[in-house]
Amino acid sequence: MNLLARNGVAIDESFAEAFDMRATALVITAPTLHWARIAATSLTGFATSVIACGCEAAIDAELAAEATPDGRPGVRVLIFSASTTELQKQVQTRVGQCVLTSPGSACYAGLAGEEALKLGDGLRYFGDGWQIAKRIDGRRYWRVPVMDGEFFCEGSTGLTKQAVGGGNLLLLARSAGAALRAAEAVAAAVAATPDAIAPFPGGIVRSGSKVGSKYKGLPASTNDAYCPTLRGSVASALDADTAAVLEVVIDGLSAAAVAAAMRAGLAAAVALGPEQGAHRIGAGNYGGKLGRHHFHLKDLL
């Protein structure tokens, strides 16, 4: 199973299997970076997996004032979903409940995509007829009266159909602490990669899943092959030295972005070495039958 070793870390001859998704990006600004981040964090809450959350979302980057449309500090977020209809629903609901409500906030398109999603064009009705449309450089914006002044929001944002979800790295370690150190290093490397996010809490997931379940109607269940407590009871993928496994799942606006994030994460985990982090790195797939994007670990080294 293990093909190569780098810095004493074994690398599985495996690949991450990823899927086509729809995605958009939003730029959220506020009087301070603190409040921009609060709005963005609220918007991207409960957005770890499309299995139950409707979308996968996280902060992509913090933006200096000179890099935003209104000259204020901001945050760019990425939102992924399985369909255009669901993505539109998630964008409108989350911006309306988490950005419109946040003090001093404004919201702008963060992506020029093949199609448009409603942003302010849907939220303007909250103004109850007092909202005002403005056109600036051919783009429409809405000024919606709120109790601290106005919510300024771009009319629409772009959608891309080139997004990819489900890139991943499995980090096998000799202790739970070592697994967490490795996963934190990988998550930080992904966060520093443009156009890519790791949507789970802190970028890390402990409850890796497989397709299907013994229970009717459940689409996914625990990845028993990687559960240390089940070693000896199932066809385990773990060696005797592995005490804990953590996974980092990666979504990107393109296959290239996912590959870049996986490459950066793999390098970060390898740099830690087996004593401080993972002693083995693998990837999750379904035999190549479900997702058309295959990211082979040996190609990312």
Per-residue model confidence as pLDDT tens digits over 9-18: 999 999 999 9
Residues 6 or more apart whose Cβ sits within 8 Å of residue 101: none
**Cβ neighbourhood burial of 146 (10 Å; 0-12, 13-18, 19+):** middle
Q: What is the pLDDT of residue 263?
A: 98
pLDDT tens, position by position, 230-255: 999 999 999 999 999 999 999 999 99
What residues pair up with 118 in beta bridges, in sequence order? 156
Asked if residues 281 and 297 have their Cβ atoms less than 8 Å apart, the reply is: yes
Residue 113: what pLDDT?
Answer: 86
pLDDT of residue 1: 58
Query: Phi and psi of 88, rounded to 5°?
Result: -60, -45
For the chain, residues with pLDDT lower than 70 are 1-2
This model's pTM is above 0.85: yes
Q: How far apart are CA 293 and CA 283, in angstroms?
A: 13
Q: From CA 13, how far away is CA 15, in angstroms rounded?
A: 7
> Between β-strands 156-173 and 15-29, what pairing exists: parallel, antiparallel or unpaired?
antiparallel
- Domains of the chain in start order, with CATH, are 2-18+163-300 (3.30.70.520), 21-160 (3.30.70.520)
CA 14 vs CA 4, 257, 286: distances in Å: 11, 19, 11
